Amino acid sequence: MTQSPIPPPPAEEPGKVLDGAAAVTEAAGEVHTARTLEDTQGPTENEILRVENLSVEFPTDDGVVRAVRNVSYSLREREVLSIVGESGSGKSVSSMALLGLLPRSARVSGKVLYRGQDLLAMRQKELRSVRGRKISMIFQDPMTALNPVHSVGDQLAEAVLAHELVPPKHALERAREMLDLVGIPQAAQRLRSYPHEFSGGMRQRVMIAMAIINNPDVIIADEPTTALDVTVQAQILEKLLEVKDAVNSAILLITHDLGVVAGLAHRVLVMYAGRPVEVGTTDDVFYRTRMPYTAGLLGSIPSMTSAYGERLRPIQGTPPSLINMPTGCPFSPRCPLADDTCRSSEPPLAPTDGAEGPDTAGPDAGGVPVAAHLASCHHWERLAETDDPTAFFRNGGITP
């Protein structure tokens, strides 16, 4: 019996340039087949959260760790803002600083304004009335976030009773409604189950139910799909979009997966070495990249449209030490476009040629439009001159 020969790889079109941003967006569209961002209600003009010059430092025996440096952004009602970056870029620390969840050794400065009230200036008692009720959080690992010795129903009911004077029976009924909303079957029976009796995807749904049980204005989702397989990940992301409309919340999504961002976020904030390096609408950041670090992230993603046998293009090197930061741009040791200017001075986060919207971020932000495309790079014009900025990482900085 003869075996049929292995079919040759599909022929590539001559001269075709593979666009990493297009491949990621296309893949995200294929995953989110049930519900997409366009199917949901768009953001309003009302700003509910503003972060101004947020900085976080941790004193250690080796020196001061500057985990977050001058992070600023705003969030409107029903808006999805995604914070993207490698591990250690300051994404989770910046979000935990909003809710006062950092250790006492942390030195936090700046302003976090929730409907005009500075959360960083609040006393712990005042902050507890906001945390979990007005601003809630979905943590990375639901198995460690949930208490293993209490049933899921008791933990969900406790989230209600901590903020409202209602009978426990009413709190349990509210918990059942939330489990129904996030798609857990037989919700009334599962209230008596313990966390270990749920699968990973179901535990993450429980965490979403706990986050939305008090109808918060802002949901902080910290890597909500990290430990889940692709199928369950798509279900969780679609459920987040449904929940956003159901409770009329804004979402602050923290992730390192650009595929998640492409299908879920209105705006993107890219962080590197503790500070924002590119901010803009999702289309601006993906299709009009103005920061080499963002281009490197897009180019390092595997794609089914890549040429046969083509190797992945990771960003060479590692993120810098947050104790001994390099002089100039922190990304310069890994950047194919770096020159003496980059190594001597750190570029500010400034507007580029990206699209600008009519809404301004207010006088404290210098009147910069909310939808402005900002980048921290001395050479963003070089990226603007090419159709595929990821090619710089293939060509060693030579203009493609």
Domains and CATH numbers, the chain: 17-134+251-393 (3.40.50.300)
Q: What is the predicted pLDDT for the residue at 381?
A: 92
pLDDT of residue 361: 43
Percent share of the chain, pLDDT over 70: 82
Average pLDDT over residues 208-222: 92
Has residue 308 got a pLDDT over 70? no
pTM, rounded to two decimals: 0.84
Q: Which residues pair with 137 in a beta bridge?
A: 220
Mean pLDDT estimate for the chain: 84
Residue 9: is its pLDDT beyond 60? no
User: Which pLDDT value is given to residue 41?
Assistant: 81
Q: What percent of the chain has a predicted confidence (pLDDT) above 90? A: 55
- pLDDT of 118 > 60? The answer is yes
Average the pLDDT over each of 8-12, 193-197, 211-215, 331-335 and give the range with the smallest value.
8-12
User: Which of 78-82, 148-152, 310-314 comes out lowest in average pLDDT?
Assistant: 310-314
Please compute the mean of the pLDDT values over residues 22-35 and round it to a whole number: 47
pLDDT score of 126 more than 50: yes
Task: Give residue 16's pLDDT.
Answer: 42
**Would you state the pLDDT for residue 330?**
95
Per-residue pLDDT reduced to its tens digit, 220-267: 999 887 767 777 778 788 888 888 888 889 999 998 888 788 878 999
Which one has a higher pLDDT value, 125 or 306?
Answer: 125
